[in-house]
């Protein structure tokens, strides 16, 4: 079945978008066979694991070479580019839902599935072509995200979560401290804890309070990185 698909040039468009042509079509097939199909689980997950690490290295090198900024800002940028959302957007850009093989049609548009598949593809390219080839692919696919990067336009809770996960593997913890004011116009006080730092903020809803707390903590981190 896989052989027929390649004979028809099914993956030619994908390879063109990647900017890389696989010599080993079986390796490409493994990268596109999601772990929901039991027979592809091991290969897909191993390639995904490798691709995640390779992506992190390529992006870190790019930031180091092209952005003369301090470590704190470098970490924020790295977290923004090496995350599930970025990989998901890349997956959509290269029409990956049309190519990936899954146990159910609904999985083809799943954010996590597509993000994992992008990393699996990068892992496969690294195995076959080496670091220089996978770097070309990442620089090509990620360049629009990098060019349009604007930390201030990103949702503060998302930015804080990506940074915290990159640093500790954990997510920020938001705690409701108290609710004050009349029932028709309450005010919420929330504390956020992330990477051994805390911040408190108020808002007219719990969500707004959490967003404000994340903003405060991010601002403190930015100031700290400049000192």
Q: Per DSSP, what are the bridge partners of residue 181?
A: none
Catalytic residue among 43, 52, 99, 210: 52
Chain segment 157-200, per-residue pLDDT in tens: 888 887 888 788 889 999 999 999 988 889 999 999 998 899 99
Same fold, 2-149 and 171-226: no
In angstroms, the CA 115 to CA 97 distance is 11
The CA-atom distances, in angstroms, between 148 and each of 113, 153, 158 are 25, 10, 17
CATH code at 2-149: 1.10.1520.10
Q: Looking at the predicted structure, is the pLDDT value of residue 22 above 70?
A: yes
The class (CATH top level) of 171-226 is alpha beta
- How far is CA 160 from its chain centroid? 13
pTM as predicted: 0.67
Residue 227's pLDDT is 47
Q: Which has the closest alpha carbon to 212: 202, 222, 221?
A: 202
Active site residue 52: yes
Q: Is 155 in the active site? A: no
Q: Which of 89, 99, 116, 119 is catalytic?
A: 119
Q: What residues does each domain of the chain span?
A: 2-149, 171-226
């Amino acid at each position: 079945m896989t052989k027929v698909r390649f004979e028809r040039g099914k993956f030619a468009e994908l390879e063109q978008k990647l900017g890389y042509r696989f010599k080993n079509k079986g390796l490409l097939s493994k990268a596109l066979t999601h772990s929901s199909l039991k027979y592809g689980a091991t290969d897909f997950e191993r390639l995904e694991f490798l691709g995640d690490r390779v992506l992190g290295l390529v992006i870190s090198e790019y930031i180091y070479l092209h952005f003369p900024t301090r470590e704190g800002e470098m970490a924020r940028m790295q977290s923004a580019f090496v995350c599930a959302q970025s990989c998901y957007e890349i997956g959509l850009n290269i029409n990956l839902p049309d190519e990936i093989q899954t146990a159910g049609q609904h999985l083809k548009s799943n954010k996590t599935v597509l993000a994992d598949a992008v990393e699996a593809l990068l892992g496969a390219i690294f195995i076959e072509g080496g670091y220089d080839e996978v770097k070309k692919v990442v620089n090509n696919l990620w360049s629009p995200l990098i060019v349009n990067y604007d930390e201030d336009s990103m949702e503060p809770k998302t930015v804080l979560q990506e940074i915290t996960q990159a640093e500790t593997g954990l997510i920020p913890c938001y705690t409701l401290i108290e609710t004050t004011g009349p029932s028709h116009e309450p005010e919420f006080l929330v504390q956020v804890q992330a990477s051994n730092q805390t911040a408190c903020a108020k808002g007219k809803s719990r969500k707004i309070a959490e967003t404000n707390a994340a903003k405060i903590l991010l601002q403190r981190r930015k100031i700290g990185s400049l000192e």
